[in-house]
């Protein structure tokens, strides 16, 4: 048995380290977005949120007219981005939207946070890319430098503390911190956000 049996592909010599699941048209769109982003998005002064919302919508994003996409936030694929009312993507956020990323109303994603909506199946010899959507709930806060992993839902009003590394769902109104992230407290005012009915 060849040493590399587990990673070579049937039908000949491997040409790529893993099967690229992203289609050609997807790659062309991303190339076009890359140019538009570098020339027309990232270069804009902070207050011009309206212009950046326009560019994001041009490439298929669903962006509320009150959303704040800051100029240095990176967005892999705008067509997979949904920004709710008053939601915010701060500078130096990396929104790796291989799968859909949805920010609820008033959701805040602070500087250097990484929303990473894909992983690889490392048990698969093909090292297949696995897109997994991310949801940041209404009024949730992803603080500075936090990492939100593929498939994660951060519940309504929840907080991922600075540099928290979140690989599992976060329950509504809980506060998580650390690497790996653990629940450290609960957000007060839950009753007020949710109303007495729940």
Site residues for a second copy per CB under 8 A: 1-7, 14, 16-17, 27, 30-31, 34, 45-47, 68, 86-88, 92, 94, 96, 106, 108, 111-112, 114, 116, 119-120, 122-123, 125, 127, 139, 141, 143-145, 147, 149, 159, 162-163, 165, 167, 175, 177-180, 187-189, 192-196
Measured CA to CA, the distance from residue 196 to residue 51 in angstroms comes to 40
Pick between residue 9 and residue 54 the one whose CB is nearest to a second copy.
Answer: 9
120 is catalytic: yes
Q: Minimal distance in Å, beta carbon 158 to a second copy?
A: 10
Which residue do the tokens 């800051």 mark? 70
Query: What secondary structure does DSSP assign to 78-117, as a single string?
Result: GGGEEE-TT-EE-TT-EEE-SS-EEE-TT-EE-TT-EEE-
Q: Minimal distance in Å, beta carbon 19 to a second copy?
A: 13
Neighbours of 31 (CB within 10 A): 10
With CA atoms as reference, report the closest residue to 156 among 89, 86, 105: 105
Q: Which of 49, 114, 120, 186 is catalytic?
A: 120
């Amino acid at each position: 048995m060849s040493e590399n049996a587990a990673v070579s592909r049937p039908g000949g010599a491997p040409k790529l380290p893993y099967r690229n699941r992203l289609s050609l048209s997807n790659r062309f769109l991303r190339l076009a977005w890359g140019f538009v982003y570098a020339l027309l998005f990232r270069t804009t002064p902070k207050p011009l949120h309206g212009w950046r919302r326009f560019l994001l919508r041009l490439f298929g994003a669903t962006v509320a007219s009150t959303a704040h996409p800051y100029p240095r936030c990176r967005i892999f694929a705008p067509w997979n981005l949904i920004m709710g009312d008053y939601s915010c993507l701060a500078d130096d956020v990396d929104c790796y939207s291989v799968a859909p990323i949805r920010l609820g109303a008033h959701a805040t994603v602070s500087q250097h946070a990484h929303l990473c909506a894909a992983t690889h199946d490392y048990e698969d010899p093909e090292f297949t890319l696995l897109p997994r959507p991310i949801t940041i709930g209404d009024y949730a806060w992803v603080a500075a430098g936090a990492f939100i992993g593929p498939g994660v839902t951060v519940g309504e009003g929840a907080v991922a503390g600075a540099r928290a590394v979140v690989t599992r769902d976060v329950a509504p109104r809980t506060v998580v911190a650390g690497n790996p992230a653990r629940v450290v407290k609960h957000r007060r005012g839950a009753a007020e956000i949710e109303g007495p009915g729940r």
